[in-house]
Amino acid sequence: MNQHIHCLVSDCHYWDRGNVCKAGEIIVTSDEFGNTQPDRIDAKMANQLTPTPVGGSCMATCCKTYVPKGSEMVDKDNIQRMS
Ligand code: SF4
């Protein structure tokens, strides 16, 4: 199965041409959770985390896997970038 996550966040380490996400896996959380948790909390820990509902607003969701291109934090979450 050929699946893509489409994303427009072009300054992310995992973003690639055609507006696709090249992360092996991602996690989407509430903004509040994303703002308060360290970078190491990411998709690899998904089955250990408590769900974070956002009250019906897409504006309150965030991709917790985002990391800026060139950041020294790229390896903190153990997420692999696919080729
Ligand atoms: S990790 Fe998140 S922000 Fe980065 S390219 Fe993928 S979906 Fe977009």
Residues in contact with ligand 1 (CB, 6 Å cut-off): 5, 7, 9, 12, 14-15, 21, 23, 26, 63, 65-66
- Residue 23 has which token pair? 């992360």
Q: 0.75 cut: is pTM over it?
A: yes
CA 12 – ligand 1 centroid, Å: 6
Average pLDDT, the chain: 95
On the 0-12 / 13-18 / 19+ scale of CB atoms within 10 A, 61 is middle
Those residues whose C-beta lies under 8 Å from the C-beta of residue 27, and which sit 6 or more positions away, are: 42, 43, 46, 49, 63, 64, 65
The 10s digit of each residue's pLDDT in 34-75 is 999 999 999 999 999 999 999 999 999 999 999 999 999 999
- Supply the pLDDT for residue 3: 76
| Residue to substitute in 3, 9, 76, 78 for testing ligand 1 pocket (most ligand atoms within 8 angstroms of CB) | 9
Q: What is the pLDDT of residues 21-35, one digit of tens each?
A: 999 999 999 999 999
- Asked if 4 contacts 21 with a C-beta cutoff of 8 angstroms, the reply is yes
As a whole-number percent, the residues of the chain with pLDDT over 90 amount to 94
